[in-house]
């Protein structure tokens, strides 16, 4: 068992369970006893906590991020040090990472969905940048997708600490190299535009379903960010609108001066595109390569080209990127069209400049320079990967543990994994008849592979179970009828047991067997325990007619019943202030806390010429329960045409279920427990035709929420 489970930090945060682990910290679910809410706590790993300077920066950075407050940023509540532990208290997110969301989709996102996500990401970045905070590690793994489709950016400020704690590009880039900006890859000065580049790569991946650069090592991917041009998104997915492609490629411009100057600038273009998807931004001066000569435009074949000899150099260094698909195989036709495109553009450029010779030495110089940069990158990669370890035997190597056959949670909490500094990440989930659901089928790198310190991340493939299996869902607090119909439609046998409950609404499920996630087959039995409501003794309703309203109220309080909003009517029999009728008939059984609606007399109708009724005499408290003989009851009015109306009721978001009661002139016309997932309900109401100013009362969980007046005039 994890040593921190059950621990109470600062006499406030009780650690409940472990929910994740990263290179710097372990994340736990916890309860804040002071505010009675669930939170997430990141506890700094012990090897980093021993560095006093790192701890100081950890607190400074975290406190700066705690000042951020935006709906698209995961909130930081607290930063503290307790019992030799350094930790951050954050908002607990009910959702999954954008990376997991894309993996579940298994295909490129619809461009409208990608636009929805990137807009929220950029809003969060805009807020942080306006306060001088740069994220430095924007990637789908750090972006949370909530159940309502909203997005929150996580781990602000942590990336700076991560880079400070590591000392080689390989170590820093392992989890993020596919998203780092060219200036990060070179170790140059970075600013807010580095986040914009990384956000552009995230948008590229959402739209195309693939990363702009792939490689056998972090170094090779980093070199491509510096020297290469990715395939345009529309070459991979022609359904992407041209304007959205232009926004993506401008955000990914290698030259920071040709990138969006700010997150707000990119948001402005995203908003223009949202209003008019056919807009043409014409970013003709965007250069994907950070070169000093004339910029290379982001254009498709057939467009006019404005460039120089850098095109040839770029072709030498990036031809393999542009001419290979995701499977690594060459596509000669693509490469030929790309080369012809560059040549055609180059000729066009010469003609416009009024010259046709190509004798200038500039292209040759640029080509040689590009080759030198490429060879230098290869040399650096060889040194880091091979020669360095050979010449410096002090660099430690680690043997990769085997995690095949474990569950993901078992692997992440394995003592072998934790003691050797490895982390385990889910890469994908696939169906399997060989491995049980949830069991790891494959891992990369393979077991016993020797890796360096910064390469201790194991990516795993997890079995999703057999395609013929039926997965048991979480049906607690769901309505029995709906769940029973669903399970029986899948061929399962449903057994229902009843149990009284004060917490779960009547006819809703208290518990289930088997538990959520269990694999079942048609014919298997499922047991659902359903609530019969509170185990309360019913009360015999008394007759309140002929009592004053004050007396009736006291009787209802004694019986643990609730008085609804009284409705006043003219009455020739009962004096003003006396009860004319009640919606719960005498001698019928009602449960405690039931709402009782009363109709109270205003006296005779003055327009009918009746004399004014005497004021009611109030006694402190009735001595005996009223009986039917104390006052005559009113008979219902004869039937007459009715008018139908509806009322719009917004449901609360702080609970899963809510009991809704709607009365019209004191008569209950709607009484049901509904799921708040519906947000709004519009129950039907009716009243006799010609009813003026009918009083409509709405109760949520027996609490009066609103009183309105509706005309039922046809």
Q: What is the pTM of this model?
A: 0.44
- Residue 156 in this model has a pLDDT that exceeds 90: no
Cβ atoms of 29 and 40 within 8 Å: the answer is yes
Can you tell me whether residue 175 is helix, strand or coil? Answer: coil
Q: Please, what is the average pLDDT of the chain?
A: 77
The architecture of the domain spanning 637-714 is: Sandwich (2.60)
Tokens representing 137 are 């590690």
**For the domain 397-463, what is the CATH code?**
3.30.10.20
Mean pLDDT of 40-58: 78
Active site residues: 137
> Residue 495's pLDDT is what?
93
CA geometry: angle 700, 706, 712, nearest 5 deg: 110
The CATH H-level (homologous superfamily) assignment of domain 95-391 is Transferase(Phosphotransferase) domain 1 (1.10.510.10)
**Lowest pLDDT segment from 115-119, 286-290, 584-588:** 286-290
Domain borders along the chain are 8-91, 95-391, 397-463, 470-531, 637-714
Mean pLDDT of 674-685: 78
> Residue 143's pLDDT is what?
94
**Which residues, in sequence order, are CB contacts of 652 under 8 Å at separation 6+?**
658, 676, 700
- Residue 636 in this model has a pLDDT that exceeds 60: no
Residue 175: CA count within 13 A, CB half-sphere: 26
Q: Do domains 397-463 and 470-531 have the same CATH topology?
A: yes
> Residue 391's pLDDT is what?
53
- Counting residues of the chain whose pLDDT is more than 70, the rounded percentage is 76
Domain 470-531 -> CATH class: alpha beta
> Residue 321's pLDDT is what?
40
- Residue 432 in this model has a pLDDT that exceeds 90: no
CA geometry: angle 268, 259, 186, nearest 5 deg: 145
> Residue 288's pLDDT is what?
46
Q: Where are the alpha helices (DSSP H) in 71-217?
A: 98-105, 111-130, 158-165, 169-173, 182-186, 192-208
Cβ atoms of 664 and 695 within 8 Å: the answer is yes
Which has the higher per-residue pLDDT, 181 or 631? 181
- Going from the C-alpha of 457 to that of each of 25, 159, 170, 420, 426, the distances in angstroms are 14, 17, 12, 11, 10
Cβ atoms of 442 and 426 within 8 Å: the answer is no
Right CATH for 8-91 from 2.60.40.420, 3.20.190.10, 3.30.200.20, 3.40.718.10: 3.30.200.20
Whole-angstrom distance, CA of residue 608 vs CA of residue 432: 83
- 506 assigned ligand-binding residue: no
């Amino acid at each position: 068992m994890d040593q921190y489970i059950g621990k109470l930090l600062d006499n406030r945060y009780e650690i409940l369970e472990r929910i994740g682990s990263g290179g710097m910290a372990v994340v736990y679910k916890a309860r804040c006893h002071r505010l009675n809410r669930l939170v997430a706590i990141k506890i700094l790993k012990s090897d980093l906590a021993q560095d006093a300077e790192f701890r100081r920066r950890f607190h400074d950075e975290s406190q700066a991020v705690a000042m951020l407050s935006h709906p698209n940023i995961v909130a930081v509540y607290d930063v503290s040090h307790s019992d030799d532990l350094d930790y951050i208290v954050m908002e607990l997110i009910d959702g999954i990472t954008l990376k997991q969301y894309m993996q579940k989709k298994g295909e490129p996102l619809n461009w409208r969905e990608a636009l929805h996500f990137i807009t929220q990401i950029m809003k969060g970045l805009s807020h942080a940048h306006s306060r001088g905070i740069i994220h430095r590690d924007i990637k789908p793994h750090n972006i949370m997708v909530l159940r309502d489709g909203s997005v929150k950016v996580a781990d602000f400020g942590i990336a700076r600490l991560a880079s400070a704690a590591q000392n080689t590009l390989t170590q820093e880039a392992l989890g993020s190299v596919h998203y780092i900006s060219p200036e990060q890859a070179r170790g140059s000065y970075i600013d807010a535009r580095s986040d914009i580049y990384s956000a552009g790569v995230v948008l590229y991946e959402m739209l195309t379903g693939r990363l702009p650069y792939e490689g056998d090592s972090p170094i090779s991917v980093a070199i491509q960010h510096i020297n290469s041009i990715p395939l345009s998104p529309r070459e991979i997915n022609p359904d992407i609108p041209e304007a959205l492609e232009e926004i993506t490629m401008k955000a990914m411009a290698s030259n920071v001066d040709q990138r969006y100057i700010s997150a707000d600038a990119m948001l402005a273009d995203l908003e223009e595109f949202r209003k008019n998807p056919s807009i043409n931004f014409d970013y003709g001066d965007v250069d994907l390569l950070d070169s000093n000569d004339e910029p290379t435009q982001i254009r498709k074949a057939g467009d006019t080209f404005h460039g120089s000899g850098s095109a040839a150099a770029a072709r030498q260094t990036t031809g393999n990127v542009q001419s290979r698909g995701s499977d690594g195989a060459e596509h000669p036709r693509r490469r030929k069209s790309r080369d012809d495109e560059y040549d055609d553009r180059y000729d066009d450029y010469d003609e416009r400049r009024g010259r046709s010779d190509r004798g200038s030495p500039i292209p040759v110089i640029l080509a040689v320079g590009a080759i030198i940069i490429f060879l230098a990158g290869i040399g650096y990669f060889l040194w880091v990967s091979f020669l360095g370890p050979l010449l410096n035997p002090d660099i430690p190597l680690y043997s990769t543990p085997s995690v095949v056959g474990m569950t993901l949670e078992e692997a992440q909490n394995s003592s072998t994994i934790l003691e050797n500094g490895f982390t385990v990440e889910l890469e994908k989930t696939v169906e399997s008849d060989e491995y049980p659901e949830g069991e790891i089928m494959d891992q990369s790198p393979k077991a016993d592979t020797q890796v360096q310190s910064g390469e201790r991340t194991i990516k795993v493939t997890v079995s999703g179970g057999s395609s013929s299996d039926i997965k048991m869902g979480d049906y607690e607090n769901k309505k029995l009828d709906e769940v029973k119909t669903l399970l029986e439609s899948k061929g399962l046998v449903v057994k229902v047991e009843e149990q009284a409950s004060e917490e779960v609404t009547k006819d809703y499920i208290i518990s289930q067997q088997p538990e959520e996630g269990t694999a079942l087959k048609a014919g298997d039995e499922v047991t659902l325990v359903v609530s019969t409501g509170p185990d309360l003794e019913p009360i015999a309703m008394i007759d309140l007619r002929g009592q004053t309203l004050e007396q009736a109220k006291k009787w209802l309080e004694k019986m643990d019943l609730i008085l609804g909003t009284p409705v006043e009517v003219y009455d020739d029999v009962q004096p003003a202030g006396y009860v004319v009728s009640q919606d719960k008939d005498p001698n019928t059984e009602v449960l405690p806390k039931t709402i009782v609606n009363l109709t109270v007399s205003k006296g005779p109708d003055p327009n009918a010429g009746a004399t004014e009724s005497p004021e009611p005499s109030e006694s402190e408290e009735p001595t005996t329960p009223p009986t039917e003989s104390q006052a005559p009851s009113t008979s219902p009015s004869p039937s007459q045409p009715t008018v139908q109306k509806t009322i719009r009721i917004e449901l609360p978001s702080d609970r899963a279920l809510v009991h809704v009661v709607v009365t019209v002139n004191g008569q209950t016309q709607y009484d049901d427990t509904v799921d708040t997932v519906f947000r709004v309900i519009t129950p039907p109401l009716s009243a006799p035709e010609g009813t003026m100013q009918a009083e409509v009362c709405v109760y949520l969980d027996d609490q009066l929420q609103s009183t309105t007046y509706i005309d039922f005039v046809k």
